[in-house]
Amino acid sequence: MAGLVVIGLIALGALIGPELSPYSYDAQVLVEANRPPSAAHWFGTDHLGRDLLTRVLYGARISLAVGVMASLIGLTIGVAYGAIAGFYGGVVDNIMMRIIDVIYGLPFILYVVLLMVVLGPGLDNVFVALGAVYWTGMARIVRGEVLSLKQREFVLAARVMGIPPWRVVWRHLVPNAVGPILVTVTLLVPEAIFSEAFLSYLGLGVQAPVASWGVLAAEGNRALRSAPWALFFPAAFICITMLAFNFLGDGLRDALDPRLR
């Protein structure tokens, strides 16, 4: 619940914070450059005199959007792929799982970096690159759940009644695997947020003047000696958000797993 409250507060701040702030996220006031936190600028200012609190709240929009979109893409592809592999089994399952094994052969972040180099920097390309890679874990989990569920009596009864296979999968198998699916989705969001921050830090993700937490961390690192707060605040928000989503995922796992009750 604490993780859910923190996520709600960050999302609320991202939605209304930049609108309520008296400063624009991209307004440059060079005479205010590298000012430390004060009553006028709670998080201080960056090297171009922009209010850091406003930019951190605006960056939350980008980072949370990346996390949610990448998770939704991974959810869609992973559930469909894993359900088909688990339901049909045999040769179909072996071929589909060997494809995932090949993808698992290299670190995910390397695939994402290669895709971003090919596609080019940009927010839309970040969605595509992360969504194209982060579905494999979901597929494995759904496949395992479907393999255990398809031998249950209600599934056998549905097949004996002549219900089409696609309807058995989407009306009987997938809904009964919703617990592990929800937990996996909540754990995919912080992973995608961290990956976007890493890409933006390398200059392969979101590009200026759009500000994500990764862009802000990269800018703050360049001014670490003169303005350490420019790195501290975006890095702190990345850590807090990742911890909150992980706490939420652990809580959902405990609540939805009957073996832990």
DSSP assignments along 70-110, one per residue = HHHHHHHHHHHHHHHHHHH-HHHHHHHHHHHHHHHTS-HHH
pTM over 0.85: no
Q: Which residues contact 52 (CB under 8 A, 6 or more apart)?
A: 41, 43, 44, 45, 46, 216, 229, 230, 233
> What mean pLDDT, rounded, does the chain reach?
82
Pick from 171, 196, 261, 250: nearest CA to 61: 196
Mean pLDDT of 208-224: 79
Structure-block tokens of residue 6: 């923190």
In the predicted model, is pLDDT for residue 58 greater than 80? yes
* End-to-end alpha carbon distance in the chain: 17
Q: What percent of the chain has pLDDT over 70?
A: 97
**Domains assigned to the chain:** 2-260 (1.10.3720.10)
Can you tell me the mean pLDDT for 135-141? 86
**Gap between the Cα atoms of 60 and 12, Å rounded:** 10
207 pLDDT more than 80: no
What pLDDT, on a 0 to 100 scale, did the predictor assign at position 63?
85
Please check the confidence at residue 260 and state whether its pLDDT lies above 60. no
Q: What is the tens place of the pLDDT at every residue in 59-107?
A: 888 888 888 888 888 888 888 888 888 888 888 889 988 888 888 777 7
What digits encode the pLDDT tens for the residues 17-57? 888 888 887 777 787 778 888 888 888 888 788 888 888 88
Pairwise CA distance, residues 165 & 148, whole Å: 16
Q: Which pLDDT score is estimated for 34?
A: 80
Ranked by mean pLDDT, which of 8-22, 123-137, 190-204 comes out on top?
8-22
**Count of CA atoms in the C-beta half-sphere (13 A) of 104:** 12
Mean pLDDT for 228-238 is 87
- pLDDT (tens digit, 9 = 90+) per residue, 149-168? 887 888 788 877 878 878 88
What pLDDT is stored for residue 257 in this prediction?
61
User: Residue 66's closest CA among 14, 8, 113, 131?
Assistant: 131
What average pLDDT does range 224-235 have in this prediction? Answer: 84
